[in-house]
Chain A
Amino acid sequence: MEEILEPEQSEFVTLISSDGFRFVLPRKAAMISGTLNGMLSASAFTEAQYGRVHLGNISGELLEKICEYLCFNLKYKDRANVPEFEIAPEMALELLVAADFLDSKYLEFCVSLIPVFGSLI
């Protein structure tokens, strides 16, 4: 049995892909994702207690790219001259679906469209 860490004590969290790859990344980076934030913040969840999240629907390859993005976002937040984040074309569509799952910001997106398109249709 692993030692239970208080969520605020552990500085890093572990993300585990469907094929068993583990990615350890700063908690701050993981919190950028809406879904991970929800899983890691609510202390009732085992994810929050152990600081580990099993992502059964995301393969290691995709999760690696996602972790890369999270760290990229953390590093370049509020900075000018942000370099381009490279995405291989063959994984773009799968990554899009995974990103959708991890980042549920669409509510904001839809609300932002109301003033733009509300009058149109």
Chain B
Amino acid sequence: MSRRRGRTGGEVRGPNSALTEFLRGQGISANEIRARHLERQEQRLAMEALGARGEEQGVEAENREEDLENEVRARAEAEKRRNRKRKRGESDSDDEDDEDFVDTEGGGAGGAGGPGRLRSRRRRQTDRNEEELALDGVDNCAQCKCRFTVTVYTTQTADGKVLCRKCSASSKEKKSADAAQLAVRRQRKKLAEALLDGKDLLTIPSLQDQCIATVVKYIDDVEALGDIGAINLQKISRIMTRNRRLTPVILKLFLDPLSRDIELWDCSSLTHDSLQSIASFCPHLEKLVLGMCGQLKNENLLYYATNLPNLKSIYLDGPFLINKETWITFFEAVGPRLEEFHVRSTHRIDEEVIANLVINCPNLTHLTFHRLSNIKGNTAIHLIADLAHLEHLELSYLGDDYSQAGTGPPPVRPVTVEEEVGRDMDETPEVQVQPVAEDPVDVVAVGDPDAEDLTVVTDDAIVAILNKVGSQLKTLILDGCSALTDRTITAGIRPCCGELTTLSLTLLDQITDEAVADLFTDWTINPGLVKVSFRRCIGLGDSAIEALVDHSRDTLVDLDLNSLQFVTSRGLSALKGTPNLTTIDLGFVRSTDDRIVEALDRSCPHLARVEVYGAPKVTAACRITPGRKLIGRQSDTI
């Protein structure tokens, strides 16, 4: 009824629904949909008829080919006729049509262009992909070569071939299997990332952390953070730094006039104007941390000195625009109120600057000199002994040797054949992230008389410093002072450092196993060390480790034994007896194996992180308590 009315355009129509009107406007007509449906029905019937006949007569291979061809031709013929009828406005469906279709199967002729017409008829409604398909035609499946009817739902391969229903279902399965595999891979990658970041995926992050994550995500829309507490502020600031998004606009969120300390670990995107604004917004600052502050200018530092009357502690990493005169003026301006001075990575600090620091700031308790390449001799280091209140001393990677980090040749040391083989084994792609890679490596020319003069940190200097201030020192970091020998330990650390809790001697390759063992044997003036790094002190062996554990058994929390090649399972077994051990680095200690790691896991209740890069005997079979991090296994590939 409505069907008839709709088909002929000129008729007077009754009231239509909005939907009908809309569909008409879009060129969608119920008749066409119906026609398509009927077509499909016809085809199905034809196929059934074919199938039935096949069963009845038995399968005759040569005839079937021909029959199918005829079938197609006949179907096209029927189609053509129907189209013609439609044009005439006749009823487009009756049983006769179907019968006609079946009957003509024997001798249909001509009919060329049927599918072509079909295609043109459908083109209006189908999208471009489907246009390619010879819809409602019969085609061979690209995979199983069977004959089947092409419909709108037929899937196409990448090269335009069609797949039958069965094959497309199996290809879908394959696709979903691929997707599942991809998801697994992604999950594994996520886990590996979390492992390296020290995060725990099994525990649910606290609501605070979730809120902070949301705040960070929308940080550009935040007008003011408000009174969220110093710790939250610090957390957000650290995340912004880690994402390297600390811009002048975002910096303003962290500047609270009442705050007493501020830490900005990445100032590389801050202009000198915004660095200046720190001091104008927060006049009560006592502690200031500026990491990567390459844009800090002379006038900024002087502004801090004059406008921050309470400044006690300053940490500057990479302030290479600050010249010598400015440093000296700064020390004169802050004078005795400066208690902590940490400076890293600049070539503008020389011996004169250090001398001025020592003279002008006698109340220093914390002092860090890290990677200062312009210090040429050891006279300035001797002066540090005059800082009577010193508690924290770091002198690491000083002098010209370390000016080009990471570009020096590898350390020269005798390598046995077994080691060489072992190393080749380890240099598989899995061990790409080698923590030692960041450490600068340089040849220490001990016997060279010219180099002797340039050595910045010498045994004499350290022994002199420790003899004056060693008794109150809590932290001593002498990383990369490769000129130091056993004398530093026997004449400096052992007799003087009774309060020491943190000791780091990274890369001191001249110190021997015996000296370190002697240091810890009956070291009664010191109640125990908390954090110890013997990273790449390649002379050390089992005796040193056993003596250390014997001495600091109850206090040891953090231990770095990276690259101690002579340590065997005997020394490592001694580590079992340390109840407070939390973090341990056993990277490139080749004798580390599953048994050792599992023993540590069992006996250290606070253990949180074990690094085993380059320890090939730690295998996938190593079982560690869930939640604890075992990082760097070769088997942990992403």
Instruction: Decide if A99 touches B208 in the complex (CB within 8 Å).
Output: yes
- Asked if A24 is an interface residue, CB under 8 A from chain B, the answer is no
Contacts of B187 in A (CB 8 A): 81
- Asked if B18 is an interface residue, CB under 8 A from chain A, the answer is no
Contact of B531 (CB < 8 Å), options: A96, A97, A115 = A115
Contact of B204 (CB < 8 Å), options: A82, A89, A102, A105 = A82
- Asked if B482 is an interface residue, CB under 8 A from chain A, the answer is no
Q: Is the interface of B mostly helix, strand, loop or mixed?
A: mixed
B187-221 CB mask vs A (1 if < 8 Å, else 0) is 10000000000000111101110111011011001
Report the nearest A residue to B501, measured CB to CB: A118
Instruction: Decide if B204 touches A97 in the complex (CB within 8 Å).
Output: no
B327-342 CB mask vs A (1 if < 8 Å, else 0) is 0000000000000101
A88-121 CB mask vs B (1 if < 8 Å, else 0) is 0100110111011011011001100001001101
Shortest beta-carbon distance, B212 to chain A, in Å?
Answer: 7
Provide the bound-state CA to CA distance between A72 and B204, in Å.
9
Instruction: Decide if A115 touches B582 in the complex (CB within 8 Å).
Output: yes
Provide the bound-state CA to CA distance between A87 and B204, in Å.
15
Instruction: Decide if B475 touches A99 in the complex (CB within 8 Å).
Output: no
Contact of B211 (CB < 8 Å), options: A76, A93, A119 = A93
Instruction: Decide if A89 touches B226 in the complex (CB within 8 Å).
Output: no
Instruction: Decide if A100 touches B582 in the complex (CB within 8 Å).
Output: no
Shortest beta-carbon distance, B367 to chain A, in Å?
Answer: 12
Provide the bound-state CA to CA distance between A106 and B231, in Å.
9
Contacts of A80 in B (CB 8 A): 201-202
B544-580 CB mask vs A (1 if < 8 Å, else 0) is 0000000000000110000000000000000000000
Interface size on A, residues (CB 8 A): 31
Contact of A119 (CB < 8 Å), options: B210, B217, B229, B475 = B475
Provide the bound-state CA to CA distance between A119 and B226, in Å.
31
B466-501 CB mask vs A (1 if < 8 Å, else 0) is 000000000101000000000000000000000000
- Asked if A23 is an interface residue, CB under 8 A from chain B, the answer is no
Given A93-B225, A93-B228, the answer on whether A118 and B502 have CB atoms closer than 8 Å is: yes
Q: Is the interface of A mostly helix, strand, loop or mixed?
A: helix
- Asked if B241 is an interface residue, CB under 8 A from chain A, the answer is no
Shortest beta-carbon distance, B385 to chain A, in Å?
Answer: 22
Provide the bound-state CA to CA distance between A77 and B557, in Å.
28
Instruction: Decide if A121 touches B208 in the complex (CB within 8 Å).
Output: no
- Asked if A12 is an interface residue, CB under 8 A from chain B, the answer is no
Instruction: Decide if A115 touches B229 in the complex (CB within 8 Å).
Output: no
Given A93-B228, A119-B531, 9 more contacts at CB 8 Å?
A78-B202, A78-B203, A89-B217, A92-B214, A92-B215, A93-B226, A96-B211, A109-B231, A119-B475
Q: Which residues of B contact A (CB under 8 A)?
A: 187, 201-204, 206-208, 210-212, 214-215, 217-218, 221-222, 225-229, 231-232, 289, 313, 315, 340, 342, 366, 475, 477, 502, 504, 531, 557-558, 582-583
Q: Which residues of A contact B (CB under 8 A)?
A: 66, 69, 72-73, 76-82, 85, 87, 89, 92-93, 95-97, 99-100, 102-103, 105-106, 109-110, 115, 118-119, 121
**27 residue pairs from A and B, CB less than 8 Å apart:** A76-B204, A77-B204, A78-B203, A80-B202, A81-B187, A87-B211, A87-B214, A89-B215, A92-B218, A93-B215, A93-B222, A96-B212, A96-B215, A97-B227, A97-B228, A99-B206, A99-B211, A100-B208, A100-B229, A103-B207, A106-B231, A109-B231, A115-B531, A115-B557, A115-B582, A118-B502, A119-B504
